[in-house]
Every structure is written in structure tokens, then in C-alpha cells.
Structure 1
């Protein structure tokens, strides 16, 4: 009976075009729902709790964790008469307790069911009671959870975001995910603070993926930061539309919950340097009370039809969300809808009655043309009212015009005809509008460069000239065109971002040389001078000596008289040697032996650090070195040309809106090499160059290239046959080894000098021309 009275009241209100009373006000006017008791009984696989009252309940259900518990908030209810807590201890329920609250609209009776871990539940109304069926983790699962959304939000919120798990879909008003590739992923939330009507979330890096959810009962905004594992333990108090920020950690993400002080405001979550910014998009949205109305009475000639309930859910007051696409004309929806969400389910409803309901939910004044008639069948769930209105108008071949708070609805042909007539009238009046002159100063760009862009937004009568001395534009046109021109100049005339490019050219080389050599020889003489003649007429004198250093003359010994002359390259400041000499008393027999060894090690490290600053998209060059003269012979004579051997950095940067720098880089480090000379003794040029393009974040360092060379050598010089004899062969050979390593690395670090200019350009590009 009570339901029939509500239906008749809704029909009467629609017929009289009177504003429908929100359902949220019903508990305030009605008598309190006195909760008489909580019954506990066994059910299949668990227990059944029956919360009995004096009238049909209106309630909200949400689940909390740590410890797990189910909270049932009864709007306009009084639970003071219930004897609590009630110990259960079976079927997944530990105990049941109650609490009484008072919000700004009505009393709220809260029933708290303490659950076992993994317990599942089902909530449903039954006459004047709310039935909660709970099944243990090992029992059969109850049916899908059913909830009745009410206007009054819960007066208490979880103490931390970690307790707040993903609510049921009835409490998620809208959802949006954003994902982007980042070079320095964030791992921790550093804090939150309110500033200039926005909330800034500070992180230690960049967020790769985040998800934003608008939630109701109570109104709040949740931001899930994926890949982030650390967050503050305590809540942070805020000012303005949000009371506080709560933080909680979950598997693979951190949830930040912003509790609204009242109605959830419209806001937009944007990426920013050092974290995210929740920026307000306008004034606070109207309260998120659920409005409920009934369909208008059917026309006399139509059959009576079942009356459907329209639930006007909370207005999408968070970020601007694009509505889902509906295949009406085969093309996707491009408009963004921000109206309060509404559910419509009607069969053959008069379109005028449907427009009355949309007018009531939207709080807009709707004027309908006389020829707008007919019926329409709709089944839309949880869509913005402005999207629902567009769908209905397109279905019936209608269009709308908005003038402030008034929406005029007529046939498409009629509105198109009126718009064409207005355009023609405006075009006819344009030559009669007096021209005005406006001087527009240009601060950062050259007026001549901007003038070409301004011409595109002027009318045929408009002109633009420049004054290079004062760098201003002199624009002459009608007032509307002057406003467009000035807006375009303000967007284009922004401070040019500047960037400093720092480079490091690191050269490291090491060398190792080792050599071992031997020299030995001697002489043997038979002659009267040495007292041992041969006693023969021929040969009367005989002599034998080493000839590796040159042969001796008869009667003299060669100096040196080495038979094997394979020394190491020793000398002053390098290596060492040891010599032995043996000889007879008369000098007839002599033996000389010298051992030499050499080992060298060296390490050289050179760091060159050229740095240059320039503006966006402009090439900059910096260098240092010498010019080497070279003689060049030609038909006209000998000419002297200079070849440069220098360290040089050339770079052309382009700064993107997200703080990255795209650079075209050329780095050279050329130096003279005196070890390699030309025909006239001129040194050669050792070249080291790198030329590439790289995309680097502001302040980060990248290696754009490197060259690594290693040269090893091993050589053996020996006397044939004798040098291969084991052990004894050491005296007939010399051995040397060398190992040289050279490494070249080039590092580049861009640093944006005026980040505010980059942010301004990015904001202007996103916002477009005013």
C-alpha cells in the first residue's frame, strides 16, 4: 500500500510539472525507524541475521578490513533499544554490535557485524527488516550482494585507506585509468597538501599508471597508484572541499582517499612534476542525494503501463569523464558529459513526460516546441542526464539550444533553419559594424612572426601591421575579431624555454709492455802476441769472435763481440740489465754475457666537460682547441691552410611538455698526434666524434656513445734452430709483450632553466585558444 501511494504521488507531481521531492528528504520528515531487535538463526552453511524495525528500511552497506567487518547504516533509524553486543561465534560471524549517529539530515543507526576471515555475505530487504546472510569461508557462497543506495552518507569513514576495499559497483560513480611510460617510476608517496584550491600529491618519482574512482556514501575520491609501495601511516588534514587525505597500502599499489567535507567537488587529476595534482574544475557540485521520481500518468488513449522508478544517482562531480559510446549512428561519441547520473527504464513513455523527469533531475528549465510529440522506449542505467537527453533527442530527430539555465527543444530542421537565418543576418550586419583599432604588445616573440598567425582569425575587413621598434601588433577589425586576435597572441606569446646541455667526455687508456733479452759473445785468438802461435806458416794467426755487432780485423778483437745480440730496449729511466765477462790471463780467450729486462705500466684518464645554454629549437655551439698550419702546394704557389683540432659540442634541443628534452647532438674531441707526421713534419689529427639524437628527461644523464679498443701484441726474436732448444734456447732468443686499452664515453645531461615557461606552454597547448 505504501508503494502504491508513492507511485500516485509521483504521477501527480509529473502531471503538474512540480519539482519532485528528493527521496533523501523522506527520512527527515517521517517518524524514526525504531529497530526492535536483531535475530540470529542458522542457515545453510552459515547464519542469518534479521534486523527488525517498525517500517521498511532504507540502508547502506559497506565492508571494512583489518579486522573484517560488515557495516549496515540504517537511515532515519534508532538502534538504542537493541541489546548489544550480541555474541554469535558461528557461521562466519563473531559478534554483532550497534552504534547511533546523527548527520546533518537524519539519525543513522549502525549495525556492525564482525566477520571471520574469508566470510561471504548477502544483504537484502524483507518487509520491515534487513536480512544479512553470512557464509563461512568453507561454506557455500551466498547469492550476489544487493544494496539499496540512500542519500545519507555514512557519518564515519574508515581510519585508513587500507581498510577501504573496492566498494560495490552501486557506490562507484565513475572510474578512469591513466597510464604512461615513465623513466623514473615512483615507489613512495611523500605527502599531500592543499594549495590554491587543489590537492597536490608528492611522490618520489613519476606514476606510470593510476586509477581514479568517485565514490559515494560517504562522498570521497580515491586514487590508486600502481607500482607504489610506501605511503605515510597517518592521515593528513586538508583545507577546502576535502577534509583529509588517507593512505593505505595494498598488493602492488597505494590507495589515497580524499574525504569530501561536503558534496564531492568536480576535479581533474593531472600529472605534474613531482607527483599528481587534483585540480578543482569548478564550484562544488550539488549534494549527492539520490532523487527518485515516478513516471507521468499515461495519456487517455494509451493503455496503462507499468510505472518505472527513475533513480537519479550522484552527479559526476569528479574528473570530466567521457560517456560510453552507443551505436546509434555508427560513429563514437565525442562529447564529454558531466551531468548527474540517472537511470531510466520506460516502455512507450510520452516524450514530454520524459523531458519533465530530466528537467527535474538536472534542475534545468526546459522549453518544448508544440510539434514535439510521440513516445519513446528507453533503458539506460547510470548515465549522465545530459547524455540521456542527447540520446533521446537524436532518437526522435530533435535538437536543443542552451541559453544559460534554459534548454529549448525543437525539431532539428527548425533549429537548423533558425541558426542559418541568424548566421545570414549576422553576415549581413558585419559590413555595418564599425571597425576598431587595438594595439597588442608582444613580449617574447617577434611581432612579425606572430602577425602571420593573427591574419587567419581576422575578417575580410581586418588588417594587421607591426611596429618593430616597440614590438607591437596594430590590429584593425570588428570587436569580435579583435578579441580572437588578442586571445591568440596571448597563447602564442609565451616565454621561450631555455635549457643547459652539460656533457662529459671521458677518455681512459692503459698500457703494459714487457721484454726480456740476452746478449753474449767472445773471442779466441792463436798468435805469437798471445803466447799461443799455431806453429804453422799458414795460418800462423787464427782468431774467432762474435760477429753480431760487426766483424773484427786480424789481430784485434771486435767491440762489442756479440755472437747473439737480442737485448731488451732498456735505457736511462727504463728497464735493467746485468753483464758478465770471463777471459784468460793473456787475453787469448774472452767471454761476455749481458741479460736485460724491461716492463712498463701506464694509466691515463682525461675528462672534458663542455657545457652550453640555448633556447628551445635553436642550435648552440661551444668549442676549444688549436689550429694547425699545413702547407699546400698548388699552381699559384704555396698556400698555408689551418686545420682545427679542438673539443666541440653542437646541440639543438627541443623541450616537450612533459619535461623531456629531445636533442640533436654532435660532440667532437680532435687532437694532434705527433707520433704520426706528414711529409713536411706536420702532425696528424686524431678524431673522436659522436653524432646522434636522444630523448632525455630533465636533469637525467644518458650515455650517447662509447668506443672501446684493445691492442695486444707478442713478439719473439731468435737464432734459428738454437732458439728452439729447451732451456738452452733462452740464450738464443728475446721475447716482448704489450697490451694497450683505450676507452671513450660521452655523457649528456640536459637541465631546463625555466620550468615555469615549459609548464605554461603545456597548459596553453592543452587548453587551446580561448
Structure 2
């Protein structure tokens, strides 16, 4: 797997408490090299560490930051050597310790961590491969570019990186083993076909095989663990978490909801059974409910042949006690025969048959072509973005009591707009957040939810 100089490989875990890394320290760095590969091992007194790895200087320098760790008073001790590794320098930062590795040339790298050790392996980049992975043809063959195993917060994650979005299927677990199948794919010759898990992890081993245009990812020895997999763009993240029968599963809480177009309060929302498109004033479409649409209207019989669509809409308005407004480009004729169906379901079918959509507010329904409603929705999105760019910014101090502010910072950054920023004051363990007011309120709610005392 290859990373460009601007790519950051993040393997970050949320800290359990403000003192979780108080005693963490780095003891030594061991360098090993053989043939076309080299490996660097950072050894120290810590459990599974929070760390990040990034490349600079066009891939010739790799920086490993270890959160909350300290260096020996006499400096870092480096053992061993490798032809690819020119120098290893340790330094202290505001967040912990930094190991800076200077390489003889730009190399591909991969990192993994376990209790007391961080391992970074280096290998030569294939010169025949295009310089940028992003330039790969998305219509080309589906290829498994990388597979690695991560351990975060007591859970194992098998991450499968592909050249484009891939469909996958998970088989039934048997005797602590389970398989994932990716059809129409092949395995890059550069990746390891077998990945070993850590001694304290849930997954013992991951194997990759390819037969008849199908790639199988086999996870072995995960034991009593629950498993789930999701697709994130060109990655498949397969999560293995320990099962606990003694503690009830915690329910989720909604602490931030996107309100794209300033819609009214929840009490003003009504369930609409047809396709909702933002078209009336600046309201956003309602999010579809899980399952099939619910139709609760009075049941009616309809039998029309070549009837004008406006007459049909007026009929629905009378039956449902609604006011209907139609756009100028709504027209045509409808032949319909229905028996004992809810009137709102019949309206839904008629609109879909004619390529129409509607927006409902109270007892008023606006009907227009779906293409027209879609253009209005795009205009509303543009107005929202413009309003966000013009809104005044506010700076707010958000205290963190139990966790470390640096551990919460990545979660906070996900809620901010493009104009927003967040920094950490290490001395007071406080977040300094600057953004529009609505986003700042969401940040406070998020921090209150995450910042809880660990028993």
C-alpha cells in the first residue's frame, strides 16, 4: 500500500480518562532491515497507544506522534540499522513524543500497534505503478489494494481498501471463523495474503484468497465477538467487538441533527407518503421513515378513463379536505381503476405515474414536476451554503472534565463547517472552538455526551 506525502494514516483511539497516558514512556527504537523491506519498532511502557503516522518531504520523512508519551531523560536509544533508514530522531511535543524517521528514498509504509510496541514497516514503491492512486481508472478491474488489522478501544477492525466501491457478502460464523466474499475482484500482488492479530486482540489471523474472480477475506479465531461490516467509500470496515451478556447495550442518543433549510419544529412536521422534494418556501424534504410508507386516508374506489389530471387532483382535495396548488407545467390525462385503497396511497400512485412530486404543509399541497422541484431544492441548498458563509463566527471555550481534550478534538472537528476550527489548550484541558453559533451548540452537546467518567 502506498501513501502520498500529504496522506495521514490515523490510528486514533479515544482516551478513557485524563490520566490514561500519564505514565506512558518510550524506551527505545529498534531498526531492522532485510532486502527490499525495513521495519522500525518503537518500544515503551504503554498499553495499546494512541498514535498517528504521516509522511512529509515527498515521502522521504515519516513522523510518528505518540500521544501522552515521554522520552528518556538521556534521549532516545536507537538499535540496529537498515539501508533505507538514514536517521531516527526523538523529540517532545505539547501532546507527547515524536519520532522522526529520515529515509533514503520515498517508501510505502504501514503501521500497527499492540501493547508496549508500535511497528512501522517500509517497502519500496513499485516504479511501474502510476504515481498517484487517485488517478486509477474507476472503471477498471476491482482490486483489493490493501488489507490491515487495527485495534481500537478493545475492538478489532479489519480494513479492506479497494480501487472503487465494492459489494460484499458476509457468511455465517462457524467455530470462531467467518468469511467475507467480494465478487468480481482481484488481489493486488503487493499486499500480504496473511495478517496476524495482536496477542491481546479478538482476531487471531486474517487470510486473503482469490478464486474464479472472487476474493475471500477469512477471519480466524475471533471467538465470542459480535461482528458487523460497513462500506466507507473505497473501504470496507469490518468490526469485531467483544460480546457482553452482563451489561445491557447502551442506547444511542441524537445530539446533533442536520436542519438543512431551517424547517419548523418537530410539531409542524407531517408524514408525507409520496416523494418529498424541497419546493415550498425553503423547507427541506422529510427524511423517509424506515419500512414502507404508511397510508391512513379514507378508503375509496376510483374508475376513470382518460381523465384530466387537474380533475383527479381536485377529487383528492375534496376527499382529503386539502387545498391543492398545481404548477403551470402540470398536465396530461390519467386512466385509473382502483378499489378499496386509501386516498393518499392513490394520490401517491397517480403522482408517480405522471412524473410529479408534491410538498405538503398543513392542509396545503403543492404539485409540480419532479425536475422542477429538484432544481428548487438545489437552489435552496445554494442559499443555505451562502447563508452559512455569511453568518458571523463565534469563539467558545468548551471544558473537558474526564477525557483528554485532544482525544475529543477529532470528533468535534467533524461537526464544524468549512469556516470552523478547533484547538486544544493542554494546560486547562479545554477546547477552543470557533464557528457559527448553531454548530457551537452541537459541539457542546457532543462533548457533554462523550465526556463521562469511566467507572
TM-score, normalising length from structure 1? Answer: 0.19
Higher RCO (C-alpha under 8 Å, 6+ residues apart)? 2
TM-score, L = length of structure 2: 0.31
- Structure having the higher strand fraction is 1
CA radius of gyration, larger in:
1
